Structure 1
Amino acid sequence: MNKLLFLLLLCIFIGFVLTNKVSNENICNKEGHCYPKVFVATDYFQEVLEGQEIPAGLHVKIDLYTGKKHAKLLDHNDNESSDIVIIDKDGSINSDPIQSESINSDPVQIESSEVDVDQDTKVNIHHEDSLKNNNNNSLPIIPPGHKENLRISHGDNLLFEECVSKLTNTQSLHEIISTLDSLEDLVHELDFGIKLARGSGLISVVKLLDNDSNEIKRKAALVIGTAMQNNPLAQDEALKMDLIPYLLDLLSSETDIKVSSRLLYALSSIVRGNKESIQSVKNNQGLSRLAIVYQKLKNNEFRAKCALFITDFIDPNMVTVVNKKFSLFDQHQQQHDEVVSLFENAIETWCNLFQDTLFDDMGNDKDIDFDTREKILNGISMIKSHYSRQCPAQNRFKNWLSKQINRENDDYLDDYFRLVNQIKVQYGLA
């Protein structure tokens, strides 16, 4: 009996020692400040310090600017937010938005920060002093009128912040390239595209367009293009930075074909569907300047991208306008006509360039792959549809069209020859 009592007391003592050791385990930072490894919650929010473990059952807020977390004991009467994310006891994340009243005492409640940010950092990238003096490295929140995607993981938010910080602080080419690759993956998400544009991230990426490395320039342009794609809020920030004239300047001087293609992609992504961007292209003689680049860079891939740019540029279905509340409205034909009427002289130049690309002085096919040829013909057809007077057939163009016959009856060329027949109708040849 005494032996059993001794063993029982021994077990209780060992358990007490181990528990006390764990609870008193501390973390010390570089400054020598020490704090408990396990976060101790109260009824009020406190910052979760670096390396601290967060027990299950707490209410946690995450500041998307800094990535810092604040936690307190979970209060079922606290209705600060109806959109929450749950971290289960095993650390797995359930990102489905649910209602706060459905929370039990086990999970950790996560909220995104709702802090307002002063957006006075409008930077014109033609002024290097403005770039150097912009030291605001905080991450901006999503502006009013845009519903934030609450399914984005906390890890992705932290990765985004880390990438933006690295672009500012690293000089390693390998690390810059790796960071740009990560950013390009992230900014496919509209929210990250907006945050990149509204914070210091876009400024850092734009500065890399002037890097000595062609690979870095290509990847930087790709990040910009991806962030702007179908993202009117990001496009709006690019307009404030005068990014369109800057990209046109770079295109005019760039000699590397792959860099030029990526720069054109970035420009196209800013312009597509944005009436103000189209106006900026006009103000900076963008179509005429791009026509000069088209003639200089005799490359099929680049010329195909130019044809896509022109086709989208004048397609009325691509034109939208952003109002003050960031809503999008489809434009009527009359509104589209007001936009495209700004470019009649430049459009005639493009119609002639496209026709010249297809055949030589003898009216014979030039050495152009079918994909490029199809895109150029799409450009001609679009111009003819909306600028008929500015797109007459040049000498030998009708003869060239009449020779375009699918003699082999190749199925994979059906789309191409349907397009050819459509253009024949437009020019009165069928």
Structure 2
Amino acid sequence: MVRFSVYSRLAVVVLFAVAAATSDKRQSIDDNQVCTTDIEGHQVCYPRLFNATDEFQAVFPGQDLPPGLHVQINMANGERLAKLMAPEPNKDLALTVPESIPVDTPSDNSRQRGFGAGYKPAAAEGFQAHIDLVVELSTSTDRSRTDFLHNTLLAMEDLVHDTRYADELIHRSTGATSLLRLSDANTLWPANIRQLASVVLGTALQNNPEAQESLYVDGALPLFIDNVVRENDARALGKHIFALSALVRGNNRALAEFAGESLRNLRTLRVVGDRKVRDMAEVRVVRLVEDVLNSELHPDFLESAEDMKKVFAASANAWCSELADRLLRELAKPGAEYYERPVAYAHALQVLRSQYPDNCSVSNELQHLAQNKATQLGNDESAADYRQALSELI
């Protein structure tokens, strides 16, 4: 773990910049630090409490802000900046977040330990303002504030990686409802708003059992499914699938409800748009199906319940036929060079075949075509995953 106390101020600034540019995964280590994992798998940590100066500095994911700061969001890229209060604000930036206010009685089980009991972090105050704006605009017909809403959602996504803010969003009755409304394809909000609304929801739900259960009990699962079924924009659809997956994975009751007809109905999804984005959305669907039907991930009580075993078996049978048909079409294409989608088909098909042998079999024709394709691929390193997935079906 990096100890910042032994570095000079300049070294800390450089390290923060590297962490912000390369981090793709956040993990809270303790109450005084936030750590990220960069693209090379190295852990980089920085203080949870932001250290302000007279100059604007980037506020990194998960950091809390002490009171009395000038906090702004760059409208061009959604980046949060903060500095000590100054008489002249930067005119290129907008959306000042209110400074923190005293808290009379701090909770004994507060997740904000280590920052003193006399204040609530400014980021929390700003987050409440973000939720208020989302609630207001979710029922509005005024689309003149679309850009402002876009940047608000970006800021919220950055914050809900921290469980404290995720809980605040989910446990506020109108918070998640408003995001679901914004992500609904039947609204007049553009695809980028629908996409970001689902990103915020999915991020808040990931690895958060309490939040998952809260939304499930409130009856949110059908709304998540409707967003997936109604969406026609490939990029937004991919994010709706991410949000649905975040709600279902690890929640046994949601899993049991979703694994039947709703899961089978996803076979009829037809995605439009750019080929690469369309393919990515389809791969997300297939991977979700594989995860939901993977009996190795099911709790014992689901696997032992006869009615649930029938539900999983019926869905496995339906998706086995669907995946086999899709893979046959891919194998019949001459000289196809895009492998991610057929790899997903082949891998999911093999999982269903191994775990539901009575409900999923591979035809001789498919095995023959898989053998021919594997031979054609030869030693092409770029197709190694495809070749391996096909060999498992032979």
TM-score strictly above 0.5: yes
Q: Is the 8 A contact 1:363 1:397 kept in 2?
A: no
Please name the residue that 2:311 is paired with: 342
Cα 1:339–1:364 change in 2 (3 A) is same
- Picking from 159, 165, 168, the partner of 2:135 is 168
Deviation at 1:397, TM superposition (A): 0.7
Correspondence 1:83-98 to 2 at 5 A? 97=114
CA deviations 1:190-219 (Å, max 9, x no partner) are 232222111132122112123312211111
Moved more, 267-276 or 341-350: 341-350
TM-score after normalising by structure 2: 0.63
Deviation at 1:183, TM superposition (A): 1.0
- Picking from 160, 163, 168, the partner of 1:190 is 163
Correspondence 1:15-414 to 2 at 5 A? 68-70=101-103, 97=114, 109-110=116-117, 154-170=121-137, 172-199=145-172, 200-210=174-184, 211-212=187-188, 213-282=190-259, 285-293=261-269, 299-319=278-298, 331=300, 334-335=303-304, 339-360=308-329, 363-364=332-333, 367=336, 369-394=338-363, 396-403=365-372, 404-405=374-375, 407-414=377-384
Q: Is the 8 A contact 1:358 1:366 kept in 2?
A: no
The residue type paired with residue 310 of structure 1 is V
CA distance in 1, matches of 2:320, 2:235: 24
Please name the residue that 1:24 is paired with: none
Please name the residue that 1:44 is paired with: none
Cα 1:359–1:256 change in 2 (3 A) is same
CA distance in 1, matches of 2:271, 2:178: 31
CA distance in 1, matches of 2:125, 2:343: 44
Q: Which has more radius of gyration?
A: 1
Moved more, 413-422 or 228-237: 413-422
Cα 1:294–1:345 change in 2 (3 A) is farther
CA deviations 1:8-39 (Å, max 9, x no partner) are xxxxxxxxxxxxxxxxxxxxxxxxxxxxxxxx
TM-score after normalising by structure 1: 0.58
Aligned alpha-carbon RMSD (Å) = 3.6
Deviation at 1:309, TM superposition (A): 0.3
The residue type paired with residue 271 of structure 1 is V
The residue type paired with residue 366 of structure 2 is F
CA distance in 2, matches of 1:247, 1:366: 38
Cα 1:179–1:365 change in 2 (3 A) is same
The residue type paired with residue 258 of structure 1 is R
Q: What SS class does the counterpart of residue 69 from structure 1 fall into?
A: coil
CA deviations 1:284-338 (Å, max 9, x no partner) are x211221111599994222211111011112245445xxxxxxxxxx58945987
The residue type paired with residue 354 of structure 1 is L
Q: Is the 8 A contact 2:179 2:197 kept in 1?
A: yes
Deviation at 1:259, TM superposition (A): 2.0
Cα 1:373–1:336 change in 2 (3 A) is farther
CA distance in 2, matches of 1:316, 1:282: 12
Please name the residue that 1:422 is paired with: 392
Structure 2, unpaired ranges of 5+: 1-66, 70-98
Q: Is the 8 A contact 1:300 1:368 kept in 2?
A: no
Q: Is the 8 A contact 1:374 1:416 kept in 2?
A: yes
Deviation at 1:266, TM superposition (A): 1.1
Q: Could you tell me the percent identity over the aligned residues?
A: 19
CA distance in 1, matches of 2:271, 2:195: 21
Q: Is the 8 A contact 1:358 1:365 kept in 2?
A: no
Q: Is the 8 A contact 1:406 1:417 kept in 2?
A: no
The residue type paired with residue 410 of structure 1 is D
Cα 1:154–1:261 change in 2 (3 A) is same
Cα 1:366–1:349 change in 2 (3 A) is farther
Q: Is the 8 A contact 1:188 1:226 kept in 2?
A: yes
Q: What SS class does the counterpart of residue 423 from structure 1 fall into?
A: coil
Q: Is the 8 A contact 2:233 2:271 kept in 1?
A: no
CA distance in 2, matches of 1:234, 1:304: 26
CA deviations 1:69-101 (Å, max 9, x no partner) are 1469xxxxxx9969897xxxxxxxxx7x4xxxx
